[in-house]
């Protein structure tokens, strides 16, 4: 067996310990004589799996009792519609557009009501986070929406916007569980798990219980009402059962690593190695304003497209995979999520140094 350092933006690297444990339990989950993939989601064994996953997530993030935790399907993109369908009581919402994912959410919301773009960083290819301390929040806005970590462009909100009392809705897909957060500042925090937590197919929604009501837009399908899933504790229909099981293992792994404070330290340490190198390199340069740099996704360029392509090709041959930037921006991007070991980042920087020497 040989594993590469996988810098994919998502689906992405998972902790080896988790993969090994899942492999050990594949044929016979703890004496059940079957795989978790094969068991009824209504069984006692599975109930224990999903309840434990929720309890561990609640403890990692210190989620208070007045917040619901839901394990849903449809990816983060499904939430782009579910959020306005369920929360746009006044049919007005304010969006801060800091990248492709926020833009998609903003466009989707326009189907359901008046979505206002109250700030954007599109003027400089989303390379920074706009000042959100005093935005023109609409008096009747049902919520203010952000994408907290911009996976494609590598920016991160270091301070949350001043929503002037409106509920904050945040897409945290690519920074989920990467550092401690104060859940009580959010009305809704959600993320697809395939970036930092588990296999594609699960999206976790953490939502203030008071926001979950029957009062949704007319025509909202049963499956797209938060109330349906909250009332059934994520077991209204068959959930993405195996995916939730892996998420549960990742929560245990984070606990074992020391929780979110330890994750933050580990992530800062890794990111510093890469950003320090980018800041001193004569060939490579980071594309993001330093104060808004993400700890998770690090885009960089040489300034020469041919050289970028050569770098991607040669790095792959050296066992450093998926460093090609998003198709919409080009260049390179290293995603260094929780499960990326520090050795992976060091190997990348060593390779970059060598490439720099060879291509000057
Ligand atoms: C990947 C990603 C999405 C899209 O996720 P899907 O599960 O493919 O729908 C949305 N938002 C952010 C921030 C992402 O990184």
Which tens digits make up the pLDDT trace of 166-201? 999 999 999 999 999 999 999 999 999 999 999 999
Q: Is the pLDDT assigned to residue 1 strictly greater than 80?
A: no
Residue 329's pLDDT is what?
A: 81
Q: Which two tokens stand for residue 158?
A: 């270091």
For the segment 303-329, the average pLDDT, to the nearest whole number, is 94
Residue 46's pLDDT is what?
A: 98
What is the average pLDDT value for the chain, to the nearest integer? 97
Residue 291's pLDDT is what?
A: 98
For the segment 241-248, the average pLDDT, to the nearest whole number, is 98
Residue 43's pLDDT is what?
A: 98
- Sequence-distant (≥ 6) Cβ neighbours of residue 115 within 8 angstroms: 84, 93, 94, 95, 106, 107, 109
Rounded Cα–Cα distance for residues 360 and 347 (Å) = 20
Burial code (b: 16+ CB inside 10 Å, e: under 16) for 265-274 equals: ebbeebbebb
Residue 2's pLDDT is what?
A: 87
- From the number of C-beta atoms within 10 Å of its C-beta (0-12, 13-18, 19+), residue 355 rates as buried
Residue 166's pLDDT is what?
A: 98
Query: From ligand 1's centre to the CA of 32, what distance in Å?
Result: 35
Rounded to the nearest 10 degrees, how much is the dihedral formed by the CA atoms of 155, 53, 50, 22? 90
Residue 328's pLDDT is what?
A: 78
DSSP state letter for 58: H
Sign of CA dihedral 152, 135, 186, 62: positive
The pick from 8, 10, 178, 196 for probing ligand 1's pocket by mutation, whose C-beta has the most ligand atoms within 8 angstroms, reads 10
C-beta pairs of 86-89 under 8 Å, 24+ apart in sequence: 86/211, 86/212, 86/216, 86/217, 86/220, 86/224, 86/225, 86/226, 87/142, 87/143, 87/167, 87/169, 87/187, 87/188, 87/211, 88/112, 88/113, 88/142, 88/217, 89/142, 89/215
Distances from the Cα of 21 to the Cα of 28, 158, 228, angstroms: 12, 35, 33
Q: DSSP of 313-347, one letter per residue?
A: HHHHHTTEE--BPPTTT-SEEEE--TTS-HHHHHH
pLDDT in tens, 329-351: 889 999 999 999 999 999 999 99
Residue 98's pLDDT is what?
A: 98
**What percent of the chain shows pLDDT beyond 90?**
98
Q: What is the largest CA-CA distance in the chain?
A: 63
Q: Is the pLDDT assigned to residue 254 strictly greater than 80?
A: yes
Closest among 94, 109, 118, 102 to 168, alpha carbons compared = 94
3-state secondary structure of 192: strand
DSSP state letter for 251: H
Q: Which residues are catalytic?
A: 101, 171, 195
Query: From ligand 1's centre to the CA of 197, what distance in Å?
Result: 13
Query: From ligand 1's centre to the CA of 34, what distance in Å?
Result: 32
Rounded Cα–Cα distance for residues 260 and 63 (Å) = 13
Q: Is the pLDDT assigned to residue 205 strictly greater than 90?
A: yes
pLDDT in tens, 117-138: 999 999 999 999 999 999 999 9
Domains and CATH numbers, the chain: 17-256 (3.40.640.10), 259-358 (3.90.1150.10)
Residue 300 φ then ψ, to 5°: -155, 160
Residues with CB under 6 A from ligand 1: 10, 75-77, 101, 147, 151, 171, 173-174, 192, 195
For tokens 């301070």, the residue is 159
3-state DSSP of 86-143: HHCCCCEEEEEECCHHHHHHHHHHCCCCEEEEEEECHHHCCCCCCCCCCCCCCCCCCC
Query: From ligand 1's centre to the CA of 63, what distance in Å?
Result: 23
pLDDT in tens, 17-44: 999 999 999 999 999 999 999 999 999 9
pTM of the predicted protein model: 0.98
Give the confidence band of 327 by pLDDT, cuts at 50, 70, 90.
Answer: confident
**Closest CA to ligand 1's atom 14:** 173
**Closest CA to ligand 1's atom 11:** 101
DSSP state letter for 210: G
């Amino acid at each position: 067996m040989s594993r590469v350092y996988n810098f994919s933006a998502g689906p992405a690297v998972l902790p080896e310990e988790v993969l090994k444990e899942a492999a050990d339990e594949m044929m016979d989950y703890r004496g059940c004589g079957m795989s978790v993939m094969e068991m009824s989601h209504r069984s006692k064994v599975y109930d224990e799996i999903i309840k434990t996953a929720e309890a561990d997530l609640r403890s990692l993030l210190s989620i208070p009792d007045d917040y619901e935790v839901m394990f849903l399907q449809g990816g983060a993109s499904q939430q782009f519609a579910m959020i306005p369908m369920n929360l746009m009581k006044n049919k007005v919402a304010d969006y801060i557009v800091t990248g492709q994912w926020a833009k998609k959410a903003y466009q989707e919301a326009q189907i359901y009501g008046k979505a206002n773009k109250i700030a954007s960083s599109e003027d400089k290819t989303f390379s920074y986070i706009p000042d959100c301390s005093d935005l023109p929040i609409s008096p009747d806005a049902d919520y203010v929406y952000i994408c907290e970590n911009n996976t494609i462009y590598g920016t991160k909100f270091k301070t949350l916007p001043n929503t002037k009392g409106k509920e904050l809705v945040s897409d945290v897909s690519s920074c989920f569980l990467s550092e401690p957060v104060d859940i009580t500042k959010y009305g809704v925090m959600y993320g697809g798990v395939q970036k930092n937590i588990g296999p594609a197919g699960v999206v976790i929604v953490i939502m203030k219980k008071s926001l979950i009501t029957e009062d949704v837009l007319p025509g909202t399908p049963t499956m797209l009402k938060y109330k349906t899933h909250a009332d059934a504790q994520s077991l209204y229909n068959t959930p993405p059962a195996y995916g939730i099981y892996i998420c549960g293992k990742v929560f245990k792994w984070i606990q074992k690593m020391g929780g979110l404070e330890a994750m933050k330290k580990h992530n800062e340490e890794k990111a510093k190695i890469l950003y320090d190198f980018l800041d001193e390199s004569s060939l490579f340069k980071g594309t993001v304003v330093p104060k808004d740099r993400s700890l998770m996704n690090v885009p960089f360029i040489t300034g020469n497209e041919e050289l970028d392509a050569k770098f991607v090709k040669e790095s792959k041959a050296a066992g450093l995979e998926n460093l090609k930037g998003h198709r919409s921006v080009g260049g390179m991007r290293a995603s260094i999520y929780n499960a990326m070991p520090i050795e992976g980042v060091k190997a990348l920087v060593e390779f970059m140094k060598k490439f720099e020497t060879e291509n000057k």
